[in-house]
Amino acid sequence: MVAACGRRSSSVDRPAEPDRPTVSAGMLDGIRVLDLASVGPAARASRWLADYGAEVVKVGPVPAQGGVQITPPFYAYSAGRGTKRVLLDLKAPEGRDAFLALAEHADVVIESFRPGVADRLGVGREAVRDRNPRAVYCSTSGYGQDGPHADWAGHDLDYLAVGGYLHCGGRGPEGKPPLPGATIADSAGGGMHAVIAILAALVRRSATGEGASLDVSVADGVLALMALQVDEHLATGAEPGPGSSLLTGRYACYDTYRAADGRWLAVAAIEPRFWANLCRALDVERWIDHQLDDAVQDEVRADVAAAFATRPRDEWVAELAPADTCVAPVLSVAEVVGDPQFAARGAFAEAVHPTAGRFRQVAPTLAGTIRPEGAVAVPDPGATDTDELLAAAGVGPERCAELRAAGVVA
């Protein structure tokens, strides 16, 4: 009897199957993605592509090379919702060939190695193009595939630093730039950047039949996010920074304020009519005509802060948020998951993990994705789909068993 390439949990140790989601086909139904990343921007990109209906296959190292990639906690990246998994030793010629066999049937390949590594492994753009000229090959890296910083190591904070984002934010003690509350560079500068580029390439392929090679630099993505400030500097010579403009704290109409209970409110009353509405509600009408008067901003901010300090946050929100004042509560993560607006839009879903059991997670939330109905089964992190995927790529069961015995696949 031929051994299977991948290990599947038996029905004995698997929990009761949850209700399967009943959804229509996603917008990317029929698109297959091979993702060589375990975390970071590339993993975020494939997560969103899966939410749009693509079949995403996560390509990881065999157990003997388990330290090669970071293993995220089970709940990260939506716990692998809607993805499959194959383990290959890409350093072995047979593992490389198995990957290229999979790539022959893929629409998209995403990798996040240091520049040049994929080519040295034999799984770079040209190797994939030779087998599948229609494939969209997306390389994600911190600084891009070329340039003097291409080989620099980095993480989210570094890319926000070099793109100007940290400099333009607020300042802590001794002028220290604050740490952001989310991985903005990985998410938007890298992950969404990759998704946009991949979708554009797929649209062009539908017309021309040609694949594409995409060089997604996270730092470039942050620069794109900072275009308002950078374009201002390039056009006028201005030096954007903390407090230099309306959006970076120059005026009291765009700031955060502490309420009586110690919680915070965000005020973004940019338009004059919204500012006037807020001033009347706070009983500081004398500042209506001084919204952008630099000479009195300290006084305006002090009066607004004093007004907000008289009542709890949620009392202010109940009064001001519906009154065209552009006021919102600064919610903790725990408060976010209980927010009625997100609940009304189906932003959270239930999932069932083979060992962790039932838990809640963020549902597909981007426009055009489909919310699941019922609990979603997420994969066992110890199981793979290697045998099924290689069989579909034309690798027979005997050869698959040989590769597994040699430790090339798992």
Res 3: pLDDT: 42
Domain endpoint, select from 299, 315, 330: 330
Is residue 272 situated within a structural domain? yes
Grade residue 153 by pLDDT with cuts at 50, 70 and 90: very high
pTM > 0.85: yes
Is residue 22 situated within a structural domain? no
Grade residue 170 by pLDDT with cuts at 50, 70 and 90: confident
What residues pair up with 327 in beta bridges, in sequence order? 267
8 A C-beta contact, residue 381 and residue 387: no
Q: Looking at the structure, do residues 199 and 127 belong to the same domain, yes or no?
A: yes
Distance between CA atoms of residues 317 and 265, nearest Å:
8
pLDDT of residue 21 exceeding 80, the answer is no
pLDDT of residue 308 exceeding 90, the answer is yes
pLDDT of residue 390 exceeding 80, the answer is yes
pLDDT of residue 2 exceeding 50, the answer is no
Domain endpoint, select from 330, 358, 390: 330
Residues 172-181 have pLDDT tens digits of 888 899 899 9
Res 67: pLDDT: 60
pLDDT of residue 11 exceeding 80, the answer is no
Q: At what angle do helices 397-405 and 93-103 cross, to 10 degrees?
A: 140
pLDDT of residue 17 exceeding 80, the answer is no
For 90, the domain range is 32-224+371-405
Is residue 182 situated within a structural domain? yes
Res 270: pLDDT: 98
The single-letter code of the amino acid at 253 is: C
Distance between CA atoms of residues 361 and 358, nearest Å:
10
Residues 61-89 have pLDDT tens digits of 998 765 666 788 999 999 999 999 999 99
Res 244: pLDDT: 93
Catalytic residue set: 155, 186
The token pair at 294 is 């630099």
Distance between CA atoms of residues 365 and 368, nearest Å:
8
The token pair at 169 is 């934010």
The single-letter code of the amino acid at 61 is: P
Is residue 310 situated within a structural domain? yes
Q: Which residues contact 167 (CB under 8 A, 6 or more apart)?
A: 161, 177, 241, 242
Q: What is the CATH number of the domain that holds 58?
A: 3.40.50.10540
Q: What is the CATH number of the domain that holds 257?
A: 3.30.1540.10
Alpha carbons within 13 A on the beta-carbon side of 103: 30
Residues 82-129 have pLDDT tens digits of 999 999 999 999 999 999 999 999 999 999 999 999 999 999 999 999
CA dihedral 316, 317, 322, 327 (to 10 degrees): 90
The token pair at 310 is 């008289």
pLDDT of residue 13 exceeding 90, the answer is no
Residues 357-386 have pLDDT tens digits of 999 999 999 999 999 989 999 999 889 999
Q: Which residues contact 364 (CB under 8 A, 6 or more apart)?
A: 51, 52, 370, 371, 372
Q: Looking at the structure, do residues 257 and 220 belong to the same domain, yes or no?
A: no
Res 5: pLDDT: 54
Number of compact structural domains in the chain: 2
Q: Looking at the structure, do residues 190 and 310 belong to the same domain, yes or no?
A: no
Residues 262-299 have pLDDT tens digits of 999 999 999 999 999 999 999 999 999 999 999 999 99
Res 65: pLDDT: 67
Is residue 279 situated within a structural domain? yes
Grade residue 22 by pLDDT with cuts at 50, 70 and 90: very low
8 A C-beta contact, residue 247 and residue 255: no
Residues 31-45 have pLDDT tens digits of 999 999 999 999 999
Say which DSSP state 265 is in.
Answer: E
Query: Residue-wise over 149-164: b if at least 16 C-beta within 10 A, else e?
Result: ebeeebebbbbbbbbb
Sign of CA pseudo-dihedral 177, 182, 186, 189: negative
Query: Residue-wise over 100-118: b if at least 16 C-beta within 10 A, else e?
Result: bbbbebbbbbbbbbebeeb
Average of per-residue pLDDT across 41-60: 97
Average of per-residue pLDDT across 317-321: 98
Strands in 116-170 per DSSP E: 136-141
Res 381: pLDDT: 82
Mean pLDDT of the chain: 92
Q: Looking at the structure, do residues 37 and 107 belong to the same domain, yes or no?
A: yes
Res 1: pLDDT: 35
Q: Is 388 helix (H, G, I), strand (E, B) or coil?
A: helix
Q: Looking at the structure, do residues 315 and 216 belong to the same domain, yes or no?
A: no
pLDDT of residue 23 exceeding 50, the answer is no
Q: Of 53-67, 75-89, 122-136, 334-348, which gets the smallest average pLDDT?
A: 53-67
The token pair at 305 is 């802060």
Distance between CA atoms of residues 235 and 237, nearest Å:
6
